[in-house]
Structure 1
Amino acid sequence: MDTVLLIKAAIMGIVEGLTEFLPISSTGHLILAGSLLGGFEDARGKVFDIAIQTGAILAVVIVYWQRLRETAAGLGNDARARRFVLNVLIGFLPAVVLGLLFGKVIKEHLFTPIVVASTFIIGGVIILWAERRPQSAVRIQDVDQMSPMDALKVGFVQCLAMVPGTSRSGATIIGGMLLGLSRKAATDFSFFLAIPTLIGAGLYSLYKERSVLSTGDIPLFAVGLLFSFISAWICVRWLLRYIASHSFVPFAWYRIAFGIVVLVTAFTGVVTWAD
Structure 2
Amino acid sequence: MWEIFVAIVLGLVEGLTEFAPVSSTGHMIIVDDLWFKSNQIFGDEVANAFKVVIQLGSILAVVVIFWDRFMDLLGIKKIKSTSGESGKKLNLLQVIVGLLPAGVLGVLFEDYIDEYLFSINTVAVGLLLGAFLMLAADKFESKVKVHKADTVDQITYKQALGVGLIQCLALWPGFSRSGSTISGGVLLGMSHRAASDFTFIMAVPIMAGASLLKVVKYWEDFTPDVLPFFIAGFISAFVFALFFIRFFLKLINKIKLKPFAIYRIVLAIILFMIAI
Q: By the TM > 0.5 criterion, same fold?
A: yes
How far the C-alpha of 1:208 sits from its partner, in A, is 3.3
Q: Which amino acid aligns with 2:94?
A: N
Q: Does the Cα contact within 8 Å between 1:29 and 1:165 map onto a contact in 2?
A: no
Distance 2:188 2:43 in 1: 37
What is the 5 A alignment of 1:118-197?
118-133=125-140, 134-136=143-145, 138-197=147-206
Q: Please give the TM-score of this superposition, normalised by the length of structure 2.
A: 0.85
Q: Does the Cα contact within 8 Å between 2:182 and 2:199 map onto a contact in 1?
A: yes
Distance 1:260 1:102 in 2: 28
Aligned to 2:76: 73
Aligned to 1:273: none
> Which has the higher mean CA deviation after the structures are superposed, 188-197 or 136-145?
136-145
Q: Does the Cα contact within 8 Å between 2:23 and 2:174 map onto a contact in 1?
A: yes
Does residue 34 (structure 1) correspond to residue 32 (structure 2)? The answer is yes
Distance 1:252 1:183 in 2: 14
CA deviations 1:46-89 (Å, max 9, x no partner) are 343233221111111222223333443357xx9656x5111112
Does residue 117 (structure 1) correspond to residue 115 (structure 2)? The answer is no
Aligned to 1:49: 51
What is the 5 A alignment of 1:205-244?
205-210=214-219, 214-244=223-253
Q: Which amino acid aligns with 1:101?
A: L
Q: Does the Cα contact within 8 Å between 2:133 and 2:180 map onto a contact in 1?
A: no
Q: Does the Cα contact within 8 Å between 2:166 and 2:180 map onto a contact in 1?
A: yes
Unaligned runs of 5+ in 2: 82-86
Distance 1:46 1:159 in 2: 24
CA deviations 1:81-130 (Å, max 9, x no partner) are 6x511111222223332222112221222222222222212211221121
RMSD of the alignment, in Å?
Answer: 2.4
Distance 2:167 2:55 in 1: 16
Q: How many residue pairs were aligned?
A: 262
Distance 2:220 2:50 in 1: 13
CA deviations 1:8-46 (Å, max 9, x no partner) are 222111101001121101122112112211247834433
Q: Please give the TM-score of this superposition, normalised by the length of structure 1.
A: 0.85
1:24 maps to which of 22, 25, 28: 22
| Cα distance, 1:237–1:154 mapped onto 2, change above 3 Å | same
| Secondary structure class of the residue paired with 1:27 | helix
| Secondary structure class of the residue paired with 1:52 | helix
How far the C-alpha of 1:196 sits from its partner, in A, is 0.5
Distance 1:37 1:232 in 2: 21
Does residue 104 (structure 1) correspond to residue 111 (structure 2)? The answer is yes
Distance 2:134 2:225 in 1: 42
Distance 1:225 1:240 in 2: 22
Q: Which amino acid aligns with 2:262?
A: W
Does residue 90 (structure 1) correspond to residue 89 (structure 2)? The answer is no
Identity across matched positions, percent: 39
Distance 2:156 2:193 in 1: 16
CA deviations 1:186-222 (Å, max 9, x no partner) are 0000010111011111012222344555454433322
Distance 2:216 2:111 in 1: 14
> Which has the higher mean CA deviation after the structures are superposed, 85-94 or 169-178?
85-94
| Cα distance, 1:144–1:226 mapped onto 2, change above 3 Å | same
| Secondary structure class of the residue paired with 2:173 | coil
